[in-house]
Chains A and B, each alone.
Chain A
């Protein structure tokens, strides 16, 4: 049974007597019969009711455990005393109200303390008031307390920016993979910038492909636009403007004579009558690009953009593991510039981009620019990272939905409390105590109600394997070797 004890601003204190199994993050409905309105409360913390004499009673119980005890008392009395001692004080935050069947943020009223009825309510029950219907329902996990499947609407991540944050090993990649699977199953196209090569399908499948830069991900030089190539040299390789101009002239000359090729460009630069130092700097940069293998003169090269235009749902993961930081930047810069150009010209259809640890291969300005334009381009973006402060405030402000896994570190938690829309008290309470593979979802995806759920284990991808020195085999060998 729940009883309303007190209210202070958006905070409500509810007494649960006898104590039940209410958990942090669960929802309670507080129905005020006189106005036919219902407040939606969410438990943000649980404590015990402060009772006069509770310390004395605890000492009595503790001391009695050292003694042989005979009790001559009415059983009902002891039961009631246990119930009172165990009664819980549920500290709740008001999240909104239900009135006339619809959800409202108007909570500027106080329900009757004596006549209100309070009962537990699930997210699924609330959803009927939150939205008319769920267009593409997908289950990404189970509610923490009730274990009931949580159905979210996949259209909420379409054209949206979603952040998945959590400390290493907390399960954020697992959730990202579940979302990828759901998207692919519903005919969506996904591109994953995979820094750890962990989005590899367990079984051969047409729906899940891997791009290995220089192997099956190459751009034919003559298909590249001059602007993209020059921007690559200027932005990424810090080529001075005078040298960029020299390359531009050479490019134009070769193109007009129908001799445009990467090797042709390099030969032309080497043969030109320019300063030797400039010539050497240009040559060295062109060598770096060529050796990356991502640009080729091979006419047999399959255009990556054409692959992105395939019909049906699929996921391509760009395997970046083992590449130097510079090469990663080069590959991403080239790929993304081409993709953006193609999206602008409507040459490819909208798709979902998953960027794992995005700050390691592009600076924030690049991502901020992309986020600003993503809706117009037709990009839906996911940032997945274990370093919350690697993303800029701008990214947080633009985020539509946030999935937060466990963090222990106070600096990370306080940073998140500053940038997220959720109140600090709730965020700290929810995120600090989350077990692995459980997350807090908030934003558009949950109709702005903070929701705690346990994610499902992914079965499609191989997953990020941790290579250890003390692997199972090594431990077995050591056990055999150790005497006794």
Chain B
């Protein structure tokens, strides 16, 4: 799954228009994924969201990780998660988990999944009869099977993908401009527009049928400020879980100050072999 298919789409159109490339693209063996995936026909049960649905408590969860460096045969990873909760018109609550530094003996090991699951459970415990939102992008990109289910507090969960599924929309003119939800045929996920003229997102929910899912998304659109089709709490959760360059600098300093460990960047073979210009 590409991270930015909408950008790739535009770029591929540009490349295709270049004189030298035209012949190559018109060859029978080459097909572009974005041109033949008109799935409006692949949508089943499209419903408009109910504007009279009640507002529910919301908790949005996100986590991220980044490599700090290597030292003494160990890899050091930085993790942080953010939970943003909104109940009615009260002040939003932010729970910052981390940054935590994780030491592991393996390059590929990551504790991100564990931290995100922990944060989701914590969010589920903190709100009753509400909605727990989490980032669906990771699920799609890693094919991880994060639990999409009901929590102890009887809250339902929704995973939203930040990636606008341009390739799945096809002719977007045919989709309603008003908030809607549509189930994708043969898939356990939905296309959803949470605000009028907002972006169409790919989503999954813990609910079992289209009826209750439509109601859940209706409640979500009533419960949170929706900015360009994306819930504000989720946006804040991304903000507070993102690992910035400064976090990495602080983590390296902390490692040194507390444990006298100097974490270094991994050796970049490509850079070594090709030099700084081409590496």
Q: Which residues of A contact B (CB under 8 A)?
A: 51-54, 56-57, 59-60, 63-64, 66-74, 76-77, 80-81, 84-85
Q: Is the CB of A76 within 8 A of B91?
A: no
26 A-B pairs within 8 Å (CB atoms) are namely: A51-B245, A52-B246, A53-B245, A53-B247, A54-B246, A56-B242, A56-B244, A63-B239, A67-B84, A67-B92, A67-B93, A67-B94, A69-B95, A70-B95, A72-B97, A73-B80, A73-B96, A74-B99, A74-B101, A77-B99, A77-B250, A80-B250, A80-B253, A80-B254, A84-B249, A84-B253
Kindly list chain B residues whose C-beta atoms are within 8 Å of the C-beta of A56. 239, 242, 244
Contact between A74 and B254, CB atoms less than 8 A apart: yes
Interface 1/0 per residue, B146-179 and A, CB below 8 Å = 0000000000000000000000000000000000
| Residue numbers in B under 8 Å from A73 (CB-CB) | 80, 96-100
Q: Mark B75-91, 1 if CB is under 8 A from A, else 0.
A: 00000100010000001
- Encoded as 1 (CB less than 8 Å from any A CB) or 0, chain B from 129 to 153 comes to 0000000000000000000000000
B251 at the interface (CB under 8 A from A): yes
Q: Bound state CA distance, A31 and B278, in angstroms?
A: 40
Q: Which residue of A52, A71, A85 contacts B96 across the interface (Cβ within 8 Å)?
A: A71
B residues near A63, Cβ cutoff 8 Å:
236, 239
Residue among A68, A69, A70, A84 making CB contact with B246, cutoff 8 Å: A84
Q: In the complex the two chains form, is B254's CB within 8 Å of A69's CB?
A: no
Query: Contacts A81-B247, A85-B246 hold; do A72 and B95 have CB atoms under 8 A apart?
Result: yes
With contacts A51-B246, A59-B239, A80-B254 taken as known, whether A69 is within 8 angstroms of B91 at the C-beta atoms is: no
Is B240 an interface residue when CB atoms closer than 8 A count as contact?
Answer: yes
Q: What chain A residues lie within 8 Å of B23 (beta carbons)?
A: none
Instruction: Identify which of B244, B245, B249, B251 gathers the most chain A CB atoms within 10 Å of its CB.
Output: B244
Q: Which residue of chain B has the shortest Cβ distance to A51 in the bound complex?
A: B246
Closest 10 CB pairs of A and B: A53-B244, A52-B245, A81-B250, A53-B245, A67-B94, A80-B250, A68-B93, A71-B96, A67-B92, A53-B246
B258 part of interface (Cβ distance < 8 Å): yes
B209 within 8 A of A: no
B residues near A (Cβ < 8 Å) are: 80, 84, 91-101, 236, 239-240, 242, 244-247, 249-251, 253-254, 257-258
Nearest B residue to A52 by beta-carbon distance? B245
A72-B96, A76-B257 given. 4 additional CB < 8 A pairs? A59-B239, A68-B92, A73-B96, A80-B254
Which residues of chain A come closer than 8 Å to B84, judged between CB atoms?
Answer: 67
Q: Which of B80, B239, B249, B253 contacts A51 (CB 8 A)?
A: B249
Q: Which residues of B contact A80 (CB under 8 A)?
A: 250, 253-254, 257
Residues of B with C-beta under 8 A to A69: 93-96
For B240, what are the chain A residues with a Cβ–Cβ distance below 8 Å? Answer: 60, 64
The closest CB in chain A to the CB of B258 belongs to A76
When A73-B99, A74-B254 are in contact, do A57 and B244 touch as well, CB less than 8 Å? yes
Cα distance A363–B99 in the bound complex, in angstroms: 71
CA separation between A127 and B244, bound complex, in Å? 46
A69, closest chain B residue (CB): B94
Q: How far is the CB of B94 from chain A (nearest CB, A)?
A: 4
User: Given B94, B236, B244, B257, which contacts A70 in the complex, CB threshold below 8 Å?
Assistant: B94
Nearest B-chain residue to A70, judged by Cβ: B95
- Also in contact, A76 and B244, with CB within 8 A (given A68-B94, A70-B94): no
Residues of A within 8 A of B98 (CB): 72-73
Residue of A67, A68, A69, A74 most packed against chain B (CB within 10 A): A67
- B101 partner residues in chain A, CB cutoff 8 A: 74
CA distance A73 to B101 in the complex (A): 10
Interchain CA distance A67-B84 in the complex, whole Å: 9
Residues in A neighbouring B93, C-beta threshold 8 A: 67-70
Chain A residues with CB below 8 A from B96, complex form: 69-73
Q: A17's closest neighbor in chain B, by CB?
A: B253
State in angstroms the CA–CA spacing of A57 and B250 once bound together. 13
> Which residue, of A54, A63, A80, has the highest number of chain B Cβ atoms within 10 A?
A80
Give the distance to chain B from A392, nearest Cβ to Cβ, in Å. Answer: 54
Closest chain A CB from B229 CB (angstroms) = 20
Residues of chain B lying within 8 A (CB to CB) of residue A51: 245-246, 249
| Nearest neighbor of B240 in chain A, beta-carbon distance | A60
Chain B residues in 8 Å Cβ range of A66: 91-92
A24 to B100 Cα, complex, angstroms:
38
**Chain B residues positioned under 8 Å from A59 (CB to CB):** 239
The minimal Cβ–Cβ distance linking B275 to chain A, given in whole angstroms, is: 24
Which residues of B lie under 8 Å from residue A68 when comparing CB positions?
91-94
CB distance from A5 to the nearest CB of B (A): 15
- Which B residues lie within 8 Å of A57 (CB)? 244, 246
Contacts of A60 in B (CB 8 A): 239-240
Question: What chain A residues lie within 8 Å of B253 (beta carbons)?
Answer: 80, 84
Q: Which residue of B lies closest to A54 (CB)?
A: B246
Q: How far is the CA of A72 from the CA of B99 in the complex (A)?
A: 8
Q: In whole angstroms, how far apart are the Cα atoms of A165 and B97 in the complex?
A: 58
Please report the C-alpha to C-alpha distance between residue A68 and residue B95 in the assembled complex, in whole angstroms.
8
